[in-house]
Amino acid sequence: MPTSNVLSGIEIANRMNAETASRAADLSVVPTLATVLVGDDPGSVKYVEMKRRRSARWGLGTVHVHLLSDTSTSALLAVLSELADDTSVHGILLQHPLPAHIDGRAAFDAIPLTKDVDGTSSAAFAAAALGRPGHRSCTPAGIIALLDHYGVPLAGADVVVVGRSAILGKPLAAMLTERDATVTLCHSRTTDLAAHTRRADVLVAAAGRPGLITGEMVRSGAAVVDAGFTPGDVAPEVSEVASAVSPVPGGVGPMTIAMLLAHTVDAAEWRSERCHPGGPDRT
Ligand code: NAP
């Protein structure tokens, strides 16, 4: 029975953040991240605060716009357009989820590709799917960096992703395909989820359903990434079957924020070099 290794993201994220801070210090401008929050969802308030604190800690500037929960789509688009035109802002993060009355796709697509450091726009999604320049969606990019760090092979591997959201499962599937993995994307309408997950060399749980992935759903020796927030989508007994499991907290979370900070500095570097985003591909 495999004794599972821990795919910890803490040390890797700290190393990435130190490199990001050093790149930021080399620039003649302070790379600045604008965060936009609509409403007062407690989780979103906490995550935005964490992203801002970590930005400041690693030498990035921050601007924060907090809008009331009844803000209209057009008012939000006006704020995003102002930030898009503001030359002191290098990256824009629009915190999801947005209130239901807002046209979320229109809002994310109002962020120009060069400033879309969270990789949430349709243009960023297309760039990721086609292997073109652009910032990659942060959580998928963090997951792939985590797997790369621990030497988990992706080319030719059977990778099963559970969850197909526009910010996580779908871009991750596209990015893994670019990495030559054979990807199966599962969701709430998948019949016999376990039949798919049991085939996976690499299994990514991104459903937001605590304990969804149980030991019997995992192939012996598989690498398992848990993208869920505490307590995580992966049941504790999976560690007895898998070769490696990412912890919650301390796995995907720190990697996601490290990607966001790195992308913000990429955006500032690209601007200072007056070129289209074509810098380092972090996937
Ligand atoms: P989401 O938009 O709610 O999407 C959840 C996805 O999971 C949907 O595609 C849904 O299927 C699928 N799903 C739900 N129940 C399922 C089930 N029983 N079996 C199979 N699939 C199921 O969530 P999200 O924003 O992608 O986030 C997913 C998880 O990742 C959450 O726990 C979230 O908190 C976490 N997250 C973590 C980070 C990080 O930095 N660590 C960042 C973002 C998100 P349908 O499409 O059919 O509804």
- Structural domains present in the chain: 21-114 (3.40.50.10860), 138-253 (3.40.50.720)
What is the C-alpha to C-alpha distance for residues 256 and 12, in angstroms, rounded to an integer?
11
pLDDT score, position 280: 43
Give pLDDT tens digits for 216-256.
999 999 999 999 998 999 999 999 999 999 999 999 999 99
Judged against a pLDDT cut of 80, whether residue 281 lies above it is answered with: no
Catalytic (active site) residue 85: no
pLDDT at 264: 98
Q: Is 28 a known ligand-binding residue? A: no
* 59-86 pLDDT per residue, tens: 999 999 999 999 999 999 999 999 999 9
CB of 258 shorter than 6 A to ligand 1: no
Does the pLDDT value for residue 135 go beyond 70? yes
For the question of residue 118 being annotated catalytic, the response is yes
At residue 209, does pLDDT exceed 90?
yes
Q: Average of pLDDT values for 19-40?
A: 98
Residue 104, ligand 1, Cβ within 6 A: no
Angstrom CA distances, 184 to 99, 160, 200, 201, stand at: 30, 5, 9, 11
pLDDT higher than 70, residue 276: no
Per-residue pLDDT for 125 more than 90?
A: yes
pLDDT at 271: 86
Compute the mean pLDDT over every residue in the chain, rounded to the nearest whole number. Answer: 95
Cβ–ligand 1 distance for 164 under 6 Å, the answer: yes
Which residue type, as a one-letter code, is found at position 39?
G
Query: Catalytic: which of 109, 116, 118, 233?
Result: 118
pLDDT the model gives residue 99: 98
The pLDDT of 35-58, averaged and rounded, is: 97
Report the pLDDT value the prediction gives residue 253, as an integer from 0 to 100.
Answer: 96
Secondary structure (DSSP) of 20-70: HHHHHHTSSS--EEEEEEES--HHHHHHHHHHHHHHHHTT-EEEEEEE-TT
* Per-residue confidence (pLDDT) for residue 2, from 0 to 100: 61
Check whether 188 has a pLDDT greater than 50: yes
Q: Is the CB of 59 under 6 A from ligand 1?
A: no
- From the CA of 169, give the closest atom in ligand 1: 26
